Structure 1
Amino acid sequence: MNDTATVRITSLAERPALVPRLWEITENWPAFVPQDPVAGALLYRVAEDFPRYCVVATDGDRVVARGFAVPFDASREGREETPDQGWDRVLVWAYTDLRDGRPPTAASALEITIDTGYLGRGLSHRMVAALRGTARDQGHDALLAPVRPTAKHQRPRLPMADYIRLLRADGLPEDPWLRVHVKAGGVIEKVAPASMTVSGTLAQWRRWTGLPFDRDGAVDVPGALVPVHCDTAHDHAVYVEPNVWVRHRTESR
């Protein structure tokens, strides 16, 4: 089934009562991803603090998808529109600028999460378009996105720079999520090599993954885009996730 005709997508500014319900979605994120400390501290505040940049999809009374984006000032010294620390960096910048009252010069998507029961229906395309529309409505000529390629976990040892060069016969990216963005008009700009960092004790990693974490070196973890680095002598493991910066122009297509 590929029908989302009954799904309504709006900005959260139009439907603020839905903010508390955004977490009702049945998700399939790996258990270690929410352990990123930047996400833990700030992500749950985004919809309330930046509702004009966020969108929600409903099917009747059911919340079936959410899309988050944030504005930030890329013109400040030491900043750029597509930082190497990607997801973590733009989220921190957004809240620093909110605190300081600085007007934004750029907008970055953070995530699109679709209820597992609505995957494969073409809703991802509509959500990308909706986030691009909110950025346009706020006066931005582009929506940036540190994209997490959904099939990269199948090739964790392949460098991201090589992965994004994998194309289908039609010239589109082999990765399904990158392909959605490119088909929507997005342009792949660069790799964000340290977009998100999750560190923890070996006991924590065992709890998050069910793996033994009993040997030094690189550990392939289901759902991880690259190996997790394990150090048994110092009782910790660190995951540094690369993402891919994609730029969407917001002019009407």
Structure 2
Amino acid sequence: MLVEKLSDNQNLINVINQLHEEPWPAFLNEDKYVKKYWRQIYKKYPEYQLLFKIGDEYIGVGNSAPIYWNGNIDDLPSGFDEAIKIIMENNGHPNTLCGLAAVISKKYLGKGISSKIIQNFKQLAVEQGFHSLILPVRPTLKSQYPTIPMENYIKWERGNLPFDPWLRVHIKLGGKILKVANQSMIITGPVAEWQDWTGMYFGESNKYIIPDALNPVNIDLEKNIGEYIEPNVWVLHKCE
């Protein structure tokens, strides 16, 4: 498998965009920091965008950026949104690699590519002189259990490893769960837009379980607003 960096070929932006079209629910793309900064990260930090290729086919992408973190768990960003905000607005003197997304083409899922992405993130961190890789991880199967608090979900185990396959990959590679980021992403929008994003109808104000969400979405018809708060899990890998 070949690994390429966006800094080697700016035309690969189109490949990255195509790979990102597949896995994410529509509402995540409506996050205000994603809309404001995601494409800018490619331009500002092209050397941190990794593409994975088998033969002539690009089968995965790992997005990351440098960030400053003092090593204290309490001082981690509140989640994905704040991490991107820091990276793009006030990055100071970065000393840590922050993994932002790992995407794999559907037909290559379950073939060990996710491990390769993490290993290459760790290698990239070392190349940049960093000793830590942190990631706001979106557990793969949490959307099947949206009413279970993330704090409980991450304690589920199978064979002395996390139940969730994405968390399990991290732990097998030496990662350590630091804490839950309960407000990692916050997405708000008019009720009609939530109906478009989810393909559902909301007939009353309530909390609704929607496809691919890790928590229920809160719909308020009187205020004409829906709010979804996405929890993630901060994971640390030491890099040497």
Give the TM-score category using the shorter length.
Answer: over 0.9
What pairs up with 1:234-249 in 2 under 5 angstroms?
234-249=223-238
- The one-letter code of the counterpart of 1:148 is R
What pairs up with 1:1-253 in 2 under 5 angstroms?
7-25=1-19, 27-75=22-70, 82-83=76-77, 85-97=78-90, 102-168=92-158, 170-251=159-240
Structure 1 unaligned segments of length 5 or more: list them: 1-6
- The one-letter code of the counterpart of 1:39 is V
Shift in Å, 1:222: 1.0
Q: Secondary structure at the match of 1:32?
A: helix
Shift in Å, 1:15: 4.0
Shift in Å, 1:234: 0.5
Q: Secondary structure at the match of 2:129?
A: coil
- The one-letter code of the counterpart of 1:13 is S
Shift in Å, 1:52: 2.4
Q: Normalized against structure 1, the TM-score is what? A: 0.88
Shift in Å, 1:127: 0.7
- The one-letter code of the counterpart of 1:35 is E
Q: What per-residue deviation string (whole Å, max 9, x for no partner) do you get for residues 5-32 of structure 1?
A: xx31233334444233211226121111
Instruction: Name the one with the larger helix percent.
Output: 2
Going from structure 1 to structure 2, the CA distance change for 1:96 and 1:80 (only over 3 Å counts) comes to: farther
Q: What per-residue deviation string (whole Å, max 9, x for no partner) do you get for residues 66-123 of structure 1?
A: 1111112235xxx96522x21010111011135xxx3212221100011112212111
- Percent identity between matched residues is 35
Question: For the Cα contact (< 8 Å) 1:189–1:246, is it kept in 2?
Answer: yes
Shift in Å, 1:129: 0.7
Q: Which runs of 4+ in 1 moved over 6 A?
A: none
- Tell me whether 206-215 or 22-31 shows the greater mean CA deviation: 22-31
> 1 CA distance for matches of 2:22 and 2:179?
28
Q: Secondary structure at the match of 2:12?
A: helix
Question: For the Cα contact (< 8 Å) 1:72–1:97, is it kept in 2?
Answer: no
Q: Secondary structure at the match of 1:13?
A: helix
Going from structure 1 to structure 2, the CA distance change for 1:192 and 1:146 (only over 3 Å counts) comes to: same
Going from structure 1 to structure 2, the CA distance change for 1:125 and 1:165 (only over 3 Å counts) comes to: same
Structure 2 unaligned segments of length 5 or more: list them: none
- The one-letter code of the counterpart of 1:143 is L
> 2 CA distance for matches of 1:136 and 1:164?
28
Aligned length: 237
Question: For the Cα contact (< 8 Å) 1:189–1:244, is it kept in 2?
Answer: yes
Question: For the Cα contact (< 8 Å) 2:49–2:63, is it kept in 1?
Answer: yes
> 2 CA distance for matches of 1:81 and 1:67?
24
- The one-letter code of the counterpart of 2:132 is A
> 2 CA distance for matches of 1:138 and 1:189?
23
Shift in Å, 1:59: 2.2
